[in-house]
Structure 1
Amino acid sequence: MVNWAQLYDWNSDVDRVPKLLDRVEREDDGEAWAELGRRLILEHDLVSPAGIAALPRLVRLAPGSAEARHLAGEIMERAAGHHGADDLLAASVDAIAEFGILLDRHLASRPADYVVTFRALLAVREQYHWANVLGDFTDDFYDLPCPHCATQVTIAIGEYGRYSAIRDWNQGDVERRDLRPTPIEKLSGIGRWMHETVSRDRQVVLAEGR
């Protein structure tokens, strides 16, 4: 049983979130959904303790509500951050597993919100890094250190090209090198699962982003 009196949202309130959840359970209220988002998610970076507590109820609504599905996904993407509600997250393991089944089923229908749903499923699988950085590979940039010399390198994957480069403020991309995709048979772990999932769902651009 959730003790809402101890669970603050980002407005420092303890009683508003359960009332809003009651409201969206009764009817699809756009204003209530918008307010829930503001109270549960802080500038798309952190989730409030009330957000973790709300997760099971959002999962119950998710089969019939895109708003519930998206908000639950945003909460899961931030579940590895500091929220002070690890006990509630652990107690939600069954709801999270149910959410994962729902998300996978939704992906198989090849929906318009495929990437958003895929990121949520990655978070359910505790792949929080990919859940927060994965784009749609049409205009994506990833900055990371070179594994050999630690130089900051920009990885570009999109319609304009797929390459690595050192980004210079004045000269633009220098030391540009074309990327070589990893052969499918050499993929393993989460990389293989990601490729198999998007290939199953005929998401060609995502599949080729390997």
Structure 2
Amino acid sequence: MRRFDAQVVNWTRMHDCYGDVDRVPALLERVECEDDAQAWEELEYRLVLEHDLVFPAGFAALPRLMRLASRSAPARSLAGTILRRAAGQHGCDDLLASCAGEISEFRKLLDRHLQSRPVDYLATFLTSLAAMEEYHWGAVLGDFTDDFYHLACPDCAVEVTIAIGGHGRYSAIRDWDLGDVDRRGLRPTPSEELSGTGRWMYETAVRDGHGALAVGITHLFGKAECPDCAAVFDIADEYTSANRPVVR
């Protein structure tokens, strides 16, 4: 695989959302010299569009943004926004591969930020998952006040709605007139039995005093019963199987 030097980028090939190839490096120079709010705002709308679309200039800028993140909240936020979209069809895999070292250091910075219990805790938590290449969780995980996941039952293929939050913790069949019908309570996994990503998520939330998030994770990595055929399945496994992107 051809690799790009994270320090030296051929910006003539790295267009932003307007097709420009010179504006983003100029803006990066500005924010590296001073905390210019106007420059940060322009960078964000040049690098990231709605619907999770990131342009080559966004991935080219990522190493510099991650290096700035230790002293700049806007850099940390924008780098996180780009990284959480890194599994999309963007054609920039070489750029991502070239900044693996910066991503590793960025993940350490994010962990320190999490321990400070910041107001942007959930966004930082999601970016940490993306830095671990757990993009599917980084894209959908909420704070479990009102979370819903839609899965196909692995046995009968009926669509099952999984609710974890203020509405309850259950599996159900969603009826657009009647709501969630034939509810079955979820079976959370005991915290000591969690492993892998689920264990990291739970232990991090507990460490940082986010009890509701931790409890929700035990349900997310627990089991659900299909209301249609009564099959019992692992929620996280089925969601991961259906949604984990292919990292090219």
TM-score range, shorter chain: over 0.9
Highest relative contact order (Cα 8 Å, sep 6+), 1 or 2?
Answer: 2
What is the match of residue 145 of structure 2? 138
Provide the C-alpha distance between the structure 1 equivalents of 2:214 and 2:193, rounded to a whole number of angstroms: 14
What is the match of residue 166 of structure 1? 173
Structure 2 counterparts to residues 90-169 of structure 1, below 5 A: 90-169=97-176
SS state at 1:39 partner: helix
Q: How far 1:159 moved relative to its partner?
A: 2.0
Provide the C-alpha distance between the structure 2 equivalents of 1:166 and 1:35, rounded to a whole number of angstroms: 44
What is the match of residue 40 of structure 1? 47
Provide the C-alpha distance between the structure 1 equivalents of 2:147 and 2:114, rounded to a whole number of angstroms: 21
Q: Does 1:5 align with 2:12?
A: yes
Give the TM-score, by structure 1 length.
0.96
Provide the C-alpha distance between the structure 2 equivalents of 1:179 and 1:93, rounded to a whole number of angstroms: 38
Provide the C-alpha distance between the structure 2 equivalents of 1:167 and 1:11, rounded to a whole number of angstroms: 41
Q: How far 1:94 moved relative to its partner?
A: 1.0
Provide the C-alpha distance between the structure 2 equivalents of 1:134 and 1:70, rounded to a whole number of angstroms: 17
Q: Does 1:189 align with 2:193?
A: no
Greater helix content: 1
| TM-superposition CA deviations, 1:64-104 (whole Å, max 9, x none) | 21111111011111111122222111111111111001001
Provide the C-alpha distance between the structure 2 equivalents of 1:30 and 1:80, rounded to a whole number of angstroms: 28
Q: How far 1:26 moved relative to its partner?
A: 2.1
Q: How far 1:46 moved relative to its partner?
A: 2.0
What is the match of residue 64 of structure 2? 57
When the two chains are superposed, the root-mean-square deviation of aligned CA atoms in Å is 1.2
Query: Is the deviation greater in 70-79 or in 154-163?
Result: 154-163
User: Which residue of 77, 81, 86 maps to 2:93?
Assistant: 86
Q: Which amino acid aligns with 2:140?
A: V
Q: Which amino acid aligns with 2:43?
A: L
Q: What stretches of structure 1 move > 2 A for 4+ residues in a row?
A: none
Q: 1:106 to 1:41 in 2, by over 3 A?
A: same
SS state at 1:202 partner: coil
SS state at 2:69 partner: helix
User: Which residue of 70, 73, 87 maps to 1:66?
Assistant: 73
SS state at 2:151 partner: strand
Paired residue total:
210
Provide the C-alpha distance between the structure 2 equivalents of 1:83 and 1:160, rounded to a whole number of angstroms: 37
Provide the C-alpha distance between the structure 1 equivalents of 2:211 and 2:124, rounded to a whole number of angstroms: 16
| TM-superposition CA deviations, 1:12-39 (whole Å, max 9, x none) | 1111111111111222222221211111
Provide the C-alpha distance between the structure 2 equivalents of 1:145 and 1:33, rounded to a whole number of angstroms: 41
Q: Which amino acid aligns with 1:56?
A: P
Runs (5+) with no aligned partner, structure 1: none
Query: Is the deviation greater in 38-47 or in 110-119?
Result: 38-47
| TM-superposition CA deviations, 1:180-200 (whole Å, max 9, x none) | 211112211111111111111
Provide the C-alpha distance between the structure 2 equivalents of 1:197 and 1:147, rounded to a whole number of angstroms: 30
Q: Which amino acid aligns with 1:116?
A: A
User: Percent same amino acid at aligned positions?
Assistant: 66
